[in-house]
Amino acid sequence: MPGPTIYDVATAAGVATSTVSRAFSTPGRVSAATREKVLAVAAELGYQPNPHARALLSGKHHTVAMVVSDITNPHYFELIRGAEMRARVSEYTLLLVNAEESPRVEWEQIQRLAPAVDGFLLAASRLPDENLRQIAVQRPIVLMSRELPGLASVVLDHVEGCRQIVAHLSSLGHRDLVYLAGPRNSWMAGTRWAALKAAADQVGLTARRIGPFTPKVSQGGAAADGAVNAGTTAVVAHNDLLAIGVMQRLAQRGLRVPEDISVVGFDDIFAADVCTPGLTTLGGAHADLGRAAVELLLTAGTRGPDDQPRVLLPTELVLRGSTGPVA
Amino acid sequence: MPGPTIYDVATAAGVATSTVSRAFSTPGRVSAATREKVLAVAAELGYQPNPHARALLSGKHHTVAMVVSDITNPHYFELIRGAEMRARVSEYTLLLVNAEESPRVEWEQIQRLAPAVDGFLLAASRLPDENLRQIAVQRPIVLMSRELPGLASVVLDHVEGCRQIVAHLSSLGHRDLVYLAGPRNSWMAGTRWAALKAAADQVGLTARRIGPFTPKVSQGGAAADGAVNAGTTAVVAHNDLLAIGVMQRLAQRGLRVPEDISVVGFDDIFAADVCTPGLTTLGGAHADLGRAAVELLLTAGTRGPDDQPRVLLPTELVLRGSTGPVA
DNA sequence: CAACCGACGGCAAGGGGTTGCCATCGTGTT
DNA sequence: AACACGATGGCAACCCCTTGCCGTCGGTTG
């Protein structure tokens, strides 16, 4: 059942195993004729090098693990897709791991995989800073949608993005907004709030925060009621799932979007485009984010601990029907 | 950088490497006292067995690869999630691979990974039957949303599901339906059409098929126009993405759903619930499908080639606003 | 024609675990 | 007290491939 080994090829071709090995990995090291022959025999036997034996010796596994905080969030699809594609062009394999929003699970999975992969992509990690640093000494890591000094990261430029959200709302006459916060251990939640608050202050708009909420559609009800209770004309939800849940609840309560209340999300997931009204949301090239993260990870060996890059990708505020002028 | 090895542990504990190995893998083979000590030392050193070295000898990798035909299709999210969860409880790692709707890419990826995984989950594989059989002799495989005699498979019961769709449409007064077919090399596309046709015949409804279409939103325009041109009151799209694209195009043409035309999809993706009108679609417990597939794969060793299971999971016809009575 | 040299193959030592087999030790048996 | 046997630990081979080092051989140079 297991395929032929390098020994089989060597025997069949009448050479030593080292020659077979070199025929594959160090083409210049054997004569063209020998190489031809070895490759021919190998092809005939259907030989394929055993990646484990190779990894054992080289320490390189040609594999990167991507850990996502919650695989059910469609937002990650694009990240995963971008990462997968970038990994593939370098003939790297992408391991997908779900942390289920649990720092403990995340940590265990990472420890389990650490000896078997070349590095980690941590998407929206819920781990505390010190844990991230611990991992970083074992393996190269790249953070996605999170930053930590000294570690490589890839994030969308939420400062500028939030400024655009605030400018958009302000231009529509809103004097006040409510941010429906994400989980407490989400770096993004903190960042978005800080950026919104700063931008709001700058243009003289009042910003309040309620939450935290688990960013799922099902939590939209509670979030919507909180916003209504706060009495605002504009809500900015931690992500699109929550925003969609909010809109569902508002509709249920007979409140109109955007006439009575405007709703903004983050991520620009596919559903944001098909719900009614369409959801105004801060998107960005998420596939590029995945791509960039893998890129960084694959080139991690060339950098010291002091020049860990911090890639900032532009956001795009996508205007749809969920935001409108204040009545 | 690489962690301590079994040798380090052996030295530190004052025993032989074989004892350390057995302390972990064959607990009964060493005395309790020795075992305690070894484990303590190992924990202190932060020892973790190198999975490659282990795989090299045992041939077991504790890894399964899941190949999806197109990772951008949200439908797969649930499958992936279910598979990931089931794999995790058995401490298996899930490798995610995207075939990009290309049989060639699919084949290459599988060949590349074959020596490194314990088996394959092939979701909606686009490979021809004989290729699937070839793979099956190398490694255990489980097909998802596809069947082939002699190979293990997990699919939703589309025969019954399609009967329900037809009954639903028929009860609303439709006398005729058009199926917007999926890709030619999609087994599902053939199955769905056959099941729809059979069910339609049975209740005296006319069924026609147009296509094939690539099942993406962007193809909905062409599909919608084809359906309009065919002059029907009900369309059944190969999947929800296509159905959503169809609805968008119909709206653009000023046709009302469901008053002028009813639309049905397959998969019950998240977006089907948030679009307007909500999409009537044939769903099912997709996460269970992923779970069942991994289950089958992990127990594959216990079965002969003649009793490859064929798991049939129930569908659920989810009625939403996109279907209604004929005007 | 001798001395060199580069190109090419082979030998053998790992790399980190696992496991069959043997040696040892302690205890129970008669 | 002699013997047998089960429990336990160690030795060393093996899994498959890579790579440093050495030997060989043909050809170049002076």
SS3 call for A316: strand
Residue A321 belongs to some domain of the structure: no
pLDDT tens digits for B130-184? 999 999 988 899 999 999 999 999 999 999 999 999 999 999 999 999 999 999 9
Q: How far is B116 from chain A (nearest CA, A)?
A: 6
Residue B107 belongs to some domain of the structure: yes
Residues of chain A in contact with residue B46, where contact means CB-CB under 8 angstroms, are: none
Cα separation, B283 vs B110, whole angstroms = 29
Residue A2: predicted pLDDT: 62
Containing domain of residue A36, as a range? Answer: 6-58
Cα separation, A13 vs A31, whole angstroms = 14
B170/B278 same-domain check: yes
pLDDT tens digits for A230-242? 999 999 999 999 9
Residues of chain A in contact with residue B74, where contact means CB-CB under 8 angstroms, are: 74, 77, 270
- Whether residue B227 is predicted with pLDDT greater than 80 in this model: the reply is yes
HSE, side-chain direction, 13 A CA sphere, residue A52:
21
Residue A118 belongs to some domain of the structure: yes
Nucleotides of C under 7 A from a protein CB: 7-12, 14-20
pLDDT tens digits for B284-322? 999 999 999 999 999 887 777 678 899 999 999 999 999
A271/A170 same-domain check: yes
Residue B143 belongs to some domain of the structure: yes
Q: B291, exposed or middle or buried, with CB in 10 Å at 0-12, 13-18, 19+?
A: buried
Distance A50 CA to C12 C1' (A): 21
Find out whether A303 and A309 touch, Cβ atoms under 8 Å: yes
B188/B235 same-domain check: yes
Residue B326 belongs to some domain of the structure: no
B126/B34 same-domain check: no
Mutate to test the interface with B, among A96, A134, A139 (most CBs of B within 10 A): A96
A180/A279 same-domain check: yes
B186/B301 same-domain check: no
Closest chain B residue to A71, measured at CA: B81
Does B2 sit within 8 Å of A74, measured CB to CB?
no
Interchain CB contact of B56 with A (< 8 Å): yes
Does B61 sit within 8 Å of A72, measured CB to CB?
no
Asked if strand C comes closer than 7 Å to B50 Cβ, the answer is: yes
Residue B203: predicted pLDDT: 94
Residue A105: predicted pLDDT: 87
The mean pLDDT of B86-93, rounded to a whole number, is: 87
Residue B30: predicted pLDDT: 85
Secondary structure (DSSP) of B87-108: HHHTTPEEEEEE-TT-HHHHHH
Residue B44: predicted pLDDT: 87
Distance A20 CA to D26 C1' (A): 23
Q: How confident is the model at residue A174 (pLDDT cuts 50, 70, 90)?
A: very high
B180/B297 same-domain check: no
B34/B102 same-domain check: no
- Whether residue A1 is predicted with pLDDT greater than 60 in this model: the reply is no
Asked if strand C comes closer than 7 Å to A31 Cβ, the answer is: yes
Token duo for residue A168:
């958009």
B112/B181 same-domain check: no
Residue B24: predicted pLDDT: 87
* b/e burial code for range B55-81 (CB count within 10 A of at least 16 → b): bbeeeebbbbbbbbbbbbbbbbbbbbb
Residue B203 belongs to some domain of the structure: yes
A213/A148 same-domain check: no
Look up the CATH number of the domain holding residue B36: 1.10.260.40
CA-based end-to-end distance of chain A? 72
Q: Which residues make Cβ contacts (< 8 Å) with residue B170, sequence separation at least 6? A: B203, B205
Secondary structure (DSSP) of A105-125: HHHHHHHHHGGG-SEEEEET-
Cα separation, A106 vs A101, whole angstroms = 8
Residue A74 belongs to some domain of the structure: yes
Q: Which residue has the higher pLDDT, A50 or B247?
A: B247
Does B77 sit within 8 Å of A51, measured CB to CB?
no
Mutate to test the interface with A, among B270, B276, B294, B320 (most CBs of A within 10 A): B270
pLDDT tens digits for A82-102? 998 898 888 888 888 888 888
Cα separation, A30 vs B26, whole angstroms = 45
Residue B321 belongs to some domain of the structure: no
User: Which helix H or strand E contains B272, and what residues bound it?
Assistant: helix B270-274
Does A81 sit within 8 Å of B52, measured CB to CB?
no
Number of compact structural domains in chain B? 3
Look up the CATH number of the domain holding residue B268: 3.40.50.2300
Residue B189: predicted pLDDT: 93
Domain boundary residue among A19, A39, A58?
A: A58
B150/B290 same-domain check: yes
A113/A152 same-domain check: yes
- Indicate the average pLDDT of chain A: 91
Does A59 sit within 8 Å of B55, measured CB to CB?
no
